[in-house]
Amino acid sequence: MKAMGLVTNDDSQCTEVMAPVAHSDRSPVLLFMGGGMGAGKSTVLKDILKEPFWEGAAGNAVIIEADAFKESDVIYKALSARGHQDMIRTAELVHQSSTDAASSLLVTALNEGRDVIMDGTLSWLPFVVQTITMARNVHRRRYRMGPGYKVNEGGTVTENYWQRIEGEEPEQVGGKRRKPYRIELVGVVCDAYLAVIRGIRRAIMCRRAVRVKSQLTSHKRFAEAFLTYCQLVDNARLYNTNSLEGPPKLIGWKDRDKTLLVDPDEIDCLKRVSTLNEKANNIYELYKHPNPTCEAGSIWKDIVLSPSRLNIQQELKYSILKVERLKRTSSSL
């Protein structure tokens, strides 16, 4: 492992107790699960929940995922039940309402001092930084949702996601003063083309789809912001999910000493994703030359394009062409 130095940024003192003890005797935990769409966060989270601390704490923890709110939205459910053809448009119709619902639950849970798992892309740096700042102070004061992202007259932008509630103090826990949150980050990274493949598979199987450009942008922004997030949290881990069969691989770790230890052979994936072309129309436009996805040893080169898969490739190509012809025909009617 190789050390990547990070500067100290926060002096909030949370407890180091990470065993299942009485909630009033330890700091509550805010766990950020971050990574681009289709990175494999759900797979990693399943393993996290099997760890000793979360086995004892997960039952009373609040798990926040915007997609869960989206799928329970009455408009989303109604359109999906009617077989609405444009899955992407259906999801976009309820995106803001599901995001607001997730934010409302988050600030409520933090005000109550609950253990919280926030599962999202963490691709918007200002929102994440402001959320961490709120969590650092919520044991001393209460918060509510702010106006969010606003474009003012003249084109200037203000971002205020959380506001302090004046005159209200946090409730005590078990008759004791609340302890500050312990903030942890679990990041998940993979080569973006694998995430796109997973996204297509999920759209076919679950009818949950996102635009490829939005997906690529989420991967790039998270990769760009990961080291910044590491400076702000108490503990950080980074997993690589490039393996098609094996478990997620831990490639980075940071504890309170503010030093990120990384696997020098694997951390290039994070660096590579941070420089991808989010406007790419195909895999060959995804990275600058030389394109690592086309090199020997890559999953794309050795598995996806394997000669043994020729019949599958031809069948897939035929299906795509058929769909495109049907789309052109319907648009001309």
Tens digit of each residue's pLDDT (9 = 90 or more) over 8-53:
444 456 655 455 555 667 899 999 999 999 999 999 999 999 999 9
Instruction: Please answer whether residues 41 and 73 qualify as being in contact, where contact means their C-beta atoms are separated by less than 8 angstroms.
Output: no
Domains of the chain, by residue range, sit at 2-7+27-274, 295-332
Q: For 220-239, what is the mean pLDDT?
A: 96
pLDDT at 70: 67
pLDDT surpasses 80 at 165 = yes
pLDDT of 248 strictly over 60: yes
The token pair at 216 is: 């690529």
Phi, psi of 154 (to 5 degrees): 95, -5
Rounded CA separation 227/256 (Å):
14
Tell me what pLDDT residue 175 has.
64
The domain defined by 2-7+27-274 carries CATH number 3.40.50.300: yes
Cα dihedral value 54, 113, 27, 66, nearest 10: 40
Q: What is the pLDDT of residue 296?
A: 75
- Report the pLDDT value the prediction gives residue 9, as an integer from 0 to 100: 45
Question: Is residue 7 pLDDT above 50, yes or no?
Answer: no
Examine the pLDDT at 162 and tell me if it is beyond 70: yes
Round to whole Å and give the CA distance between 5 and 259.
Answer: 5
pLDDT band at 246 (very low <50, low <70, confident <90, very high): confident
How do residues 261-312 score in pLDDT, each as one tens digit?
888 888 999 999 999 999 999 998 998 877 877 777 787 877 777 888 888 8
Q: Which of 128-132, 195-199, 276-280, 296-300 has the lowest mean pLDDT?
A: 296-300
At residue 295, the pLDDT reads: 76
End-to-end CA distance of the chain: 60
pLDDT of residue 8: 43
More confident residue, 4 or 134: 134
Mean pLDDT of 43-65: 93
Residue 71: pLDDT band with limits 50, 70, 90:
low
Specify the higher pLDDT residue, 94 or 256.
Answer: 256
Q: Mapped to the 3 state alphabet, what secondary structure does the chain carry?
A: CEEEECCCCCCCCCCCCCCCCCHHHCCCEEEEEECCCCCCHHHHHHHHCCCHHHHHHHHHCEEEEHHHHHHHCHHHHHHHHCCCCCHHHHHHHCHHHHHHHHHHHHHHHHHCCCCEEEECCCCCHHHHHHHHHHHHHCCCCCEEEEEEEEECCCCCEEEEEEEECCCCCCCCECCECCCCCEEEEEEEECCHHHHHHHHHHHHHHHCCCCCHHHHHHHHHHHHHHHHHHHHHCCEEEEEECCCCCCCCEEEEEECCCCEEEECCCCCHHHHHHHCCCCCCCCHHHCCCCCCHHHCCCCHHHHHHCCHHHHHHHHHHHHHHHHHHHHHHHHHHC
* Angle between helix 192-206 and 212-232 (nearest 10): 120
What is the rounded average pLDDT for all residues in the chain? 84
